[in-house]
Structure 1
Amino acid sequence: MHWFVILFFLCAACGTQPAPMMFGGARHETIVDGRTFVVYRKGNRVEVIRDGPAGPGEHDKIRATMIEIVPWLTGCQVVRRSVEGDSGALRARVTCPRGRR
């Protein structure tokens, strides 16, 4: 049990971290409706991470918000059919205009 508590606090101290495939990607952060979202973009891929809790019935709205903030923060459009994940962490491909690649 002690190792679990130590691991919990170590993870909490790390903050929002991307998946290993997104290491080195550009990091963007915003607050929408009182929730913090972090977007990592690397090449034609993005990962959006929600920081903080979500209550029952909020997940669909949060997921929609996660998709909507990608163009605001990166200038790239989400390829809708590539979206994977949930309201905690969402991954997708993006298409970017020239100069944003």
Structure 2
Amino acid sequence: MRRIGLVWGLLLAGCGASPAPQFFGAERHEVTLDGYRFVVFHKEDMAEVVRLGYLTPRQRDPVPALMVVAAERATGCRVLGPLRGLARSPSLPGDTGEARFELKC
């Protein structure tokens, strides 16, 4: 019975997007582009974009470009490039699940 509770807890934890600690207190926006769903966290001159839902490897190709569009649409700012410094993304370049950007507002 304990295993079932653990499995349900893990599944439910993966259902929502939460910001990285650097983005606590950020504005949250939800954006859908070409059927892909994103949550954008906007704080000062930074944005964190989290893709929602499961994708096969074949479906992931357009996602990095759509993440830039999602950040710009949600914030009204222009993406300058990947976020650098302590707030930079810990993910590998090209990750389609999460990206962090520097903004020009």
What TM-score, normalized by structure 2, do the two folds share? 0.76
3-state SS in 1 of match to 2:17 = coil
> How many corresponding residue pairs?
95
| 2:31 aligned residue | 30
Distance 1:12 1:62 in 2: 19
Deviations 1:24-57 (A, max 9, x none): 0011111122221110011111100011011112
1:4 CA displacement: 4.4
Measure, in 1, the Cα distance between the counterparts of 2:9 and 2:72.
Answer: 35
Q: Which residue of 2 aligns with 1:68?
A: 69
Unaligned runs of 5+ in 2: none
Write the deviation string for residues 36-90 of structure 1: whole angstroms up to 9, x where unpaired: 1110011111100011011112323011101112121111111125485411011
Code of the residue aligned with 1:65 in structure 2: it is: L
Instruction: Name the structure 2 match of 1:94.
Output: 103
Structure 1 residues not aligned, in runs of 5+: 97-101
Pair 81,10 (structure 1): closer, same or farther in 2 beyond 3 Å: closer
Shift of 1:7: 3.9
Decide whether the 8 Å contact of 2:77 with 2:103 is kept in 1.
Answer: yes
Q: Which amino acid aligns with 1:64?
A: A
Residues 1:65 and 1:74: Cα distance change in structure 2 (over 3 Å): same
Identity %: 35
- TM-score, normalised to structure 1's length? 0.79
Question: CA RMSD of the aligned region, Å?
Answer: 2.1
Contact kept in structure 1, 2:46 and 2:83, CA below 8 Å: no
